[in-house]
Amino acid sequence: MIILVAIAFLVGLKDARNREIPNTLSGALALFGLLLQLIRLLLQTHFLPVDVMGFLTTSIPLVRLVRMLPPPSECIIFAFVTLGILTALELSIRSSKNVTGLGFGDIKYLAAWATILGHWVLFVMCAGCLLGMLWALKRRQSTFALGPWLSGAALFLCCIFVAL
């Protein structure tokens, strides 16, 4: 959980300052998501040695999070679907209206979260966009950095999963 919070915090900070989400942070999150899915599969098949399983299951928040997530195959497929659909949508908006909607960094960041959250990334996207839009309207801004809002929504969802 600390890794998720650290990556989300760094993404929010970088995007708020520079309006850019580094590929290294999105890649690190995607790699963590894939590693988490691998651990889930190994725990389900009892393939790990007992001492490793004991170490992994002592992290109660991680175990609760893992139990609430969609199946690993759904998460991986949804990451690719998210990346493909949002990239196509962004390219069509850029070519037809000559403006940007989501940035490509935001799209990669959402796809990285999808490796962990699966279809729940739709909630993250909707909540992040809504909160960011309300913030921008309140401050009378025409654009806003989406990264901090996506990070907050994703971490909020993870906290709900851990609490259940």
Could you read off the pLDDT of 3-24 as tens digits, one per residue?
Answer: 899 999 999 999 999 999 999 9
Q: What is the pLDDT of residues 35-57, one digit of tens each?
A: 888 878 877 777 766 566 566 55
Specify the higher pLDDT residue, 131 or 48: 131
| Sequence ranges of the domains in the chain | 2-163
Report whether pLDDT(98) > 90: no
pTM more than 0.75: yes
Confidence check: pLDDT of 97 > 90 = no
Output helix, strand, coil percentages for the chain, rounded to the nearest 5.
80, 0, 20
Structure tokens at 95: 């070519």
Alpha-carbon span 60 to 104, nearest angstrom: 34
